[in-house]
Amino acid sequence: MQTWLLAAVLLVGVLVVLIEAGHDAKAQNRDLALGVARSVANSPFVLSAAGTADPPARLRPYAESVRRANQVDFVVIMAPDRTRWTHPDRTRVGQQFAGRIQPALDGETFTETSGPPDPSVRAIAPLVDGNGQVVALVAVGASTGTMTAEVARRLPWLLLLALLAAALAYAGGPLATALDRQRSARAELSRARATDA
């Protein structure tokens, strides 16, 4: 009975830690995407390139180097009308960005989580000129693959802990029985000595 109870508690504990690891990884992805999006949106280079006749030509190498340096899935710089100026897949440059942008058009940096087939945490930040006008938007995404990696990183420790607890639970039952017998034997011996005396 005690062994099964300990095993159940252990299983719940492992599940809680795995869920927490997923939440931690999601928060890390959100913070990373927000930081990169804000940095790109505050770049004087990006602001000047957005005002040129051919923003994609100037911004594409910059966005790609930022993406690689920060190990995010995408850095998309776009016009306020959703037209992508940059994208890791060059065939998508010039096409419309599919995500939500209205809060960024209103001057707010925000995050959202996209669903399948490519789940990711996205941050969208406005690029504002000296007059306070939103002249471009920056979207940065970090996939949930990093979340899975964070859970996988913690998994060996959890398995080791589970094995140790299972071994203790398995050995705990017989050990408790042996200790009870020894305690009973000592109690009987003590009573016998008391009656002899």
User: Strand 110-114's sheet: what is its strand order?
Assistant: 74-78, 134-143, 120-128, 110-114
pLDDT digits 0-9 by tens, 37-80: 999 999 999 999 999 999 999 999 999 999 999 999 999 999 99
Query: Is-above-0.75 flag for pTM?
Result: no
In the chain, what are the domain boundaries?
A: 33-145
Helices 145-196 and 2-41: angle between axes, nearest 10 degrees: 150
pLDDT-based confidence at 145, cuts 50/70/90? low
DSSP 8-state code for residue 87: -
pLDDT digits 0-9 by tens, 161-176: 777 777 776 776 677 7
Residue with tokens 């927000």: 34
Average per-residue pLDDT for the chain: 84
Q: Which helix (H) or strand (E) holds 9?
A: helix 2-41
Give burial (CB, 10 Å; 0-12/13-18/19+) of 48: exposed
CATH number for region 33-145? 3.30.450.20
pLDDT of residue 72: 93
CA neighbor of 28 nearest in space, from 156, 151, 127: 151
